[in-house]
């Protein structure tokens, strides 16, 4: 097993390397890949020195699997080149997610749809992943009619430069502006670029990806995505209308049995999901469960996950592990 991590020097790339170690992912050879300006530099991983290589050299090495976290333009240019030499690409960018010829995979939900000839596999948006993981078995039990989701997304979702901006602002130092406004002590209802319909690209990702992952275009989704000055994870307020009525205790029992979910729903003791406690965890945390008393068959939920983990690195490594376990790679 020859494994490549493309974008190894970035926030998500570093997290991928941590997750590979924690999950004891089986590889014989590891290629750490980054942009040409990083090629030739040294990087230590698990006590071993690696020389970072550029993308052209990495393609020539013909890795079995390449996990990409290097941005959409890089993926559009290089993922097909890796695929052409037989590599399976698992891509964290938005480049391939809505391509009808590519699978959009959350292992707990639809890894079973993967086939041996899938050479480019898309990793969904971080906010979408945690929501659909939490809703998966509830959808099977009650059917989903409509989802209204508002997100509270960590600056880590933008990358290291955004973290640097926030910390500089917090320290009262000059900051290189990644966002159009100050982020510390502020909230920005603006993630990615605005579209002609008034939604942002991030909001449309959640709408379209949810339908594709669940394989159900009848589910109505509306989204408002917001950047908040936190680190450690994304939070979501989710209002979901089911086709059938539900029993709240049964909902809790279903969530306890949902793969990848941890139920934290004890408000009397101030127990509910928070980014602070989700940090560096692979699971999706769900709480604040309550019936929407304004209309029937509708549930309110609070969902939190570490966006660099389940929202990116962990999901990608789980896909890779599925491929290995099912002899597809």
Is 291 one of the annotated binding-site residues? Answer: no
The answer on whether 314 is annotated among ligand-binding residues is no
Catalytic residues, which ones?
126, 234
Question: Do β-strands 144-153 and 234-242 pair in parallel, antiparallel, or remain unpaired?
Answer: antiparallel
> In angstroms, rounded to a whole number, what is the distance separating the alpha carbons of residues 9 and 58?
15
**Helix, strand, coil percent content, the chain, rounded in steps of 5:** 35, 25, 40
Q: How far apart are alpha carbons 156 and 233 in whole angstroms?
A: 8
* 10 annotated among ligand-binding-site residues: yes
Asked if 247 and 278 count as a contact pair (C-beta separation under 8 A), the reply is: no
Cα–Cα distance for residue pair 149/206, rounded to 1 Å: 9
Contact between 76 and 86 (Cβ < 8 Å): no
Cβ count near 155 (within 10 Å): 24
Conformation bin of residue 179: beta by default, left when phi > 0, alpha when psi is -120 to 50: beta
Is residue 227 a known part of a binding site?
Answer: yes
Could you give phi then psi for residue 192, rounded to 5 degrees?
A: 70, -165
148 among annotated binding-site residues: no
> In a 3-state reduction of DSSP, which class is residue 16?
helix
Q: Which residues contact 181 (CB under 8 A, 6 or more apart)?
A: 188
57 marked as binding residue: no
What are the Cα distances from residue 239, in Å, to 133, 297, 311?
Answer: 15, 11, 20
**Which residues carry a binding-site annotation for phosphate?**
97
**Which residues carry a binding-site annotation for NADP(+)?**
9-12, 37-38, 307
**Which residues carry a binding-site annotation?**
9-12, 37-38, 97, 153, 227, 307
């Amino acid at each position: 097993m020859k494994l490549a991590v493309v974008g190894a020097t970035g926030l998500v790339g570093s997290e991928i390397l941590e997750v590979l170690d924690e999950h004891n992912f089986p590889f014989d050879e590891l290629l750490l890949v980054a942009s040409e300006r990083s090629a030739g530099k040294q990087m230590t991983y698990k006590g071993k020195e690696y020389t970072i290589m550029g993308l052209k050299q990495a393609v020539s090495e013909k890795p079995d699997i390449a996990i990409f976290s290097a941005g959409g333009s890089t993926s559009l240019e290089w993922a097909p080149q890796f695929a052409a030499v037989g590599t399976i690409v698992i891509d964290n960018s938005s480049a391939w997610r809505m391509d009808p010829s590519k699978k959009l995979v959350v292992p707990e939900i639809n890894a079973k749809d993967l086939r041996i000839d899938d050479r480019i596999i898309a990793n969904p948006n971080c906010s979408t992943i945690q929501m659909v993981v939490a809703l998966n078995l509830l959808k099977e039990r009650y059917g989903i009619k409509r989802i209204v989701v508002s997100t509270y997304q960590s600056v880590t979702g933008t990358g290291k430069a955004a973290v640097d901006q926030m910390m500089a602002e917090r320290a009262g130092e000059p900051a290189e502006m990644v966002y159009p406004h100050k982020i510390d002590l502020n909230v920005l209802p603006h993630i990615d670029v605005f579209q002609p319909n008034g939604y942002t690209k991030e909001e449309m990702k959640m709408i379209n990806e949810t339908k594709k992952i669940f394989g159900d275009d009848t589910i109505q989704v509306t989204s408002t995505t917001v950047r908040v000055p936190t680190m450690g994870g994304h939070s979501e307020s989710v209002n979901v209308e089911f086709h059938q009525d539900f029993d709240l205790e049964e909902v809790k029992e279903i969530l306890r049995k949902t793969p990848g979910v941890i139920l934290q729903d004890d408000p009397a003791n101030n127990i509910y999901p928070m980014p602070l406690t989700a940090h560096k965890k692979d699971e999706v945390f769900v709480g604040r469960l309550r019936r929407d008393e304004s209309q029937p068959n509708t549930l309110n939920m609070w969902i939190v996950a570490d966006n660099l983990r389940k929202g990116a690195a962990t999901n990608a490594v789980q896909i890779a592990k599925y491929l290995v376990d099912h002899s597809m790679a």
